[in-house]
Amino acid sequence: MDIQALNKIALKMVEPGTGILAADESTGTIGKRFESIKTESTYESRRDWREMLFRTSEAMKNHISGVILYDETIRQNAADGTPLVELIKSTDTLPGIKVDMGTTQLAGRPQETITQGLDGLRERLKEYYDLGARFAKWRAVVEISHPDQYVGTTPTIGGIKANTHALGRYAALCQEAGIVPIVEPEVLMGGYHNIDRCQEVTEITLNSLFTELYEQGVKLEGIILKPNMIVAGKKCAQQPSREEIAERTLKVLKNTVPAAVPGIAFLSGGQNNEEATRNLDMMNKIGGFPWKLTYSYGRALQQSALFAWKGQESNYKLAQEAFSHRAKMNSLASTGEWSQDLDKS
């Protein structure tokens, strides 16, 4: 392991004014996205969509530091035969790869999940490195049960530990392979829980994560953390302000994340475009933290472009303009310079 090389990659991933494009949707997930624009999901249509994003030079060169790819995409060529990885690298952007195999029911805990994919991961990482990947991503899922549910309340400490242990093992294997691990413990925001419960669960999860990373020998200078923001569940009647979200998120991060971590790239987690941008911006406006705070968004970077594209080649330019706009807005948010007026202009 060359920690200096890993640190250099990690720092590039969180360069000021840039963030990470999550284009690692599984075939099933992207199929659902395509259904929303009445477009069939095929090998060619998935390639065309992602190629369009990667050829948006204004966004890629100026606002995107890395792209998380799916196994299919890292092996694909553009319509003209150019490997998609080479398209990404030509914009001085780092290719990355999703390496987890999704979630399954956790044994003995039917209401919780564990992320699969550790078996054979060492060999897969070597192959992905040879294909051009310089960072990877593994997502663990933590779900908060209904506040009135006293039987089978989730998450359990055992469920959290199982998932953070897997993240630690994954991260150690990545660093062994010369790949920077993005560690993503996502506390889902889809429930009825209030912001207090999200804050409590996220703090427990991050404390467990950094214990596991230490015990697995992971060098913190060579990782990127991809956490959720501290928000209320989408179904909660009382929704917090952007100021409260930013203040609580920063409090949790300061309580749990060592200063050695180069950067924190937030997931959007179901927030809409403007929510994801404004909450990141508010944190950077507050400032006073040792890490770079930026974005690793999928839907919050792509959705407006997807609806502009509609699966039609004739809408290529409109889709690229929409993608460039969202990338620029999040770039401004990553330095605390975003405003609603700029977003609407």
Cβ-based neighbour number of residue 267 at 10 Å: 25
Name 140's bridge partners: 185
Catalytic hit among 25, 51, 184, 203: 184
Amino acid identity of 174? C
- Closest to 170 (Cα-Cα) out of 133, 135, 129, 121: 121
Catalytic hit among 12, 98, 137, 226: 226
Cβ-based neighbour number of residue 176 at 10 Å: 13
CA angle 304/41/324 to nearest 5° reads: 25
HEC readout, 26-45: CHHHHHHHHHCCCCCCCHHH
Give the tokens for residue 69. 């790819």
C-alpha dihedral, 124 to 129 to 134 to 137, nearest 10°: -10
Q: Is 184 a catalytic residue?
A: yes
Coil, helix or strand at residue 112: strand
Q: Is 226 a catalytic residue?
A: yes
Give the tokens for residue 279. 């909450």
For residues 31 and 206, the answer to whether their CB atoms sit within 8 Å is no
Annotated catalytic residues are: 184, 226
